[in-house]
Amino acid sequence: MSYEVLARKYRPQQFSEIYSQEHIVRIFTNAIETGRIGQAYLLTGSRGVGKTSIARILAKSLNCLESLSVTPCNVCTNCVDISKGNSSDVTEIDGASHTGVDDVRELQKELLYVTTSSRYRIIIIDEVHMLSKNAFNALLKTLEEPPSSVVFIFATTEPHKVLPTIISRCQRFDLKKIPVEMIIKRLRYVADLEKIEIDDEALYPIAKKADGGMRDALSLLDQVISYGITHITIREIEEIFGLVGYDVFNRFMDNVLQSNTRDVLNLFQEISIQGIDIQEFINDFLEYLRQFMYIKLNIKQEGIEQTALSTMQDLCKQFNEDEILYIINYLIETKNNLRISASPEILAELTFMKIAKITEMKSLKSILEKMSSTNYKFQSNLQQSINIPKKSIPAAEPQPAVPLITEPKPAVQEQIKTIEQPSVSNNPAPKTYTFEEVKEAIPNLAEFMTITDSKFIKGN
End-to-end CA distance of the chain: 85
CATH 3.40.50.300 segments of the chain: 6-174
Per-residue pLDDT of 415-441, as tens digits, reads 545 544 554 445 555 455 555 666 666
pTM of the complete model:
0.70
Of the candidates 86, 87, 18, the residue with the CA atom closest to the CA atom of residue 52? 18
Q: Is the pLDDT of residue 412 over 50?
A: no
Q: Is the pLDDT of residue 31 over 90?
A: yes
Q: Are strands 376-380 and 454-458 parallel, antiparallel or unpaired?
A: antiparallel
Q: What angle do CA 198, 199, 205 make, to 5 degrees?
A: 95
Residue-level pLDDT at 386: 43
Q: Is the pLDDT of residue 408 over 70?
A: no
Output phi, psi for 204, to 5 deg.
-60, -50
Average pLDDT across the chain, whole number: 81
Per-residue pLDDT of 121-169, as tens digits, reads 999 999 999 999 999 988 898 888 888 889 999 999 999 999 999 999 9
Whether 449 and 455 have beta carbons less than 8 Å apart is answered as yes
Per-residue pLDDT of 320-348, as tens digits, reads 888 898 899 989 999 999 888 888 889 99
How many CB atoms are located within 10 Å of the residue 339 CB? 8
Share of the chain above pLDDT 70, in %: 78
Residue-level pLDDT at 98: 83
Give how far Cα 273 sits from Cα of 267, 278, 331, 343, Å: 10, 11, 20, 16
Q: Is the pLDDT of residue 56 over 90?
A: yes
How many CB atoms are located within 10 Å of the residue 404 CB? 20
Measured CA to CA, the distance from residue 49 to residue 213 in angstroms comes to 5
Mean pLDDT value across residues 448-456: 59
180-241 placed in CATH 1.10.3720.10:
no
CATH superfamily of 6-174: P-loop containing nucleotide triphosphate hydrolases (3.40.50.300)
Measured CA to CA, the distance from residue 313 to residue 440 in angstroms comes to 40
Residue 359: band (very low, low, confident or very high) from pLDDT cuts 50, 70, 90: confident
Per-residue pLDDT of 262-285, as tens digits, reads 999 999 988 888 888 888 899 989
Residue-level pLDDT at 109: 85
Give how far Cα 249 sits from Cα of 154, 281, 301, 352, Å: 44, 10, 16, 12
Measured CA to CA, the distance from residue 457 to residue 387 in angstroms comes to 10
Per-residue pLDDT of 68-119, as tens digits, reads 889 999 999 999 999 888 888 998 988 888 888 888 888 888 888 888 888 9
Residue-level pLDDT at 374: 38
Q: Give CATH for domain 246-356.
A: 1.20.272.10
CATH 1.20.272.10 segments of the chain: 246-356
